[in-house]
């Protein structure tokens, strides 16, 4: 079985789209793949309840519990790696996981770690992508699924979706339009990777 682990920090709408796709499109029978665990660094993340509704195991590794260590980020990631590795995943999927990961973590999951970013990379890496697109007068915005490397939002591109930036768009309105496309391309990118694994 090809195990998939999803990391979240909040509501997990992309996670929900992936879980729904895995059921509707029968990943278990088609790809011998299943989502074995959803892990959150926030104890009360709403997405944990959604995962439970899909009968997927959940775990919590709170980054705040490592504040007293000399290197809190490293200790958090070491614990997170232990929890993830228990599932022996072929893919680790970041779905609104709001932590910048160290090269140590990224290297540990080389070629297994993927993310979705709300811009047409390589444009607008980092935060506030929609506001920046509007401010720059872009006619188009979008989302990108990419492999994660130690350089933030710079990994190889797997999928992209384009949406128009309309006159009068606010950051929130544009974000909502992009999100509908994220929910389409993220499951598709995962399916393509699973298909390549044979």
Q: State how beta strands 140-147 and 157-164 pair.
A: antiparallel
Alpha-carbon gap, residue 11 to 45, rounded angstroms: 6
**Domain CATH code at residue 107:** 3.40.50.170
Catalytic choice (117, 130, 146, 183): 117
pLDDT at 64: 95
Measure the N-to-C terminal CA separation of the chain; round to a whole number of Å: 11
153: left (phi over 0), alpha (psi -120 to 50) or beta: left
pLDDT at 42: 98
pLDDT at 198: 84
- Tell me how many domains the chain contains: 1
Print pLDDT tens along the chain (198 aa).
999 999 999 999 999 999 999 999 999 999 999 999 999 999 999 999 999 999 999 999 999 999 988 999 999 999 999 999 999 999 999 999 999 899 999 999 999 999 999 999 999 999 999 999 999 999 999 999 999 999 989 999 999 999 999 999 999 999 999 999 999 999 999 999 999 998
Residues 6+ apart with CB under 8 A from 113: 91, 92, 94, 101, 106, 147, 148
pLDDT at 72: 94
Q: Is the CB of residue 47 less than 8 Å from the CB of residue 10?
A: yes
- Asked about 117 being catalytic, the answer comes back as yes
Q: 140: domain range?
A: 2-197
């Amino acid at each position: 079985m090809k195990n998939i682990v999803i990391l979240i920090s909040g509501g997990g709408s992309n996670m929900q789209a992936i879980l729904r796709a895995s059921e509707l499109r029968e990943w278990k029978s088609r790809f011998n793949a299943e989502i074995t665990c959803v892990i959150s660094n926030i104890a009360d993340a709403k997405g944990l309840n959604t995962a439970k509704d899909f009968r997927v195991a959940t775990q919590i590794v709170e980054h705040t519990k490592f504040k007293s260590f000399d290197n809190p980020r490293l200790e958090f990631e070491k614990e997170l790696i232990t929890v993830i590795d228990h599932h022996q995943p072929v893919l680790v999927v970041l779905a609104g996981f709001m932590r910048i990961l160290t090269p140590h973590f990224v290297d540990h999951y080389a070629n297994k770690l993927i993310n979705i970013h709300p811009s047409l990379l390589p444009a607008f890496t980092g935060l506030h992508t929609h506001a920046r697109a509007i401010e720059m007068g872009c006619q188009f915005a979008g989302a990108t699924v990419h492999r994660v490397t130690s350089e933030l939002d710079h990994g190889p591109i797997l999928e992209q979706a384009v949406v128009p930036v309309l006159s009068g768009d606010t950051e929130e309105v544009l974000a909502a339009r992009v999100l509908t496309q994220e929910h389409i391309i993220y499951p598709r990118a995962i399916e393509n990777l699973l298909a390549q694994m044979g």
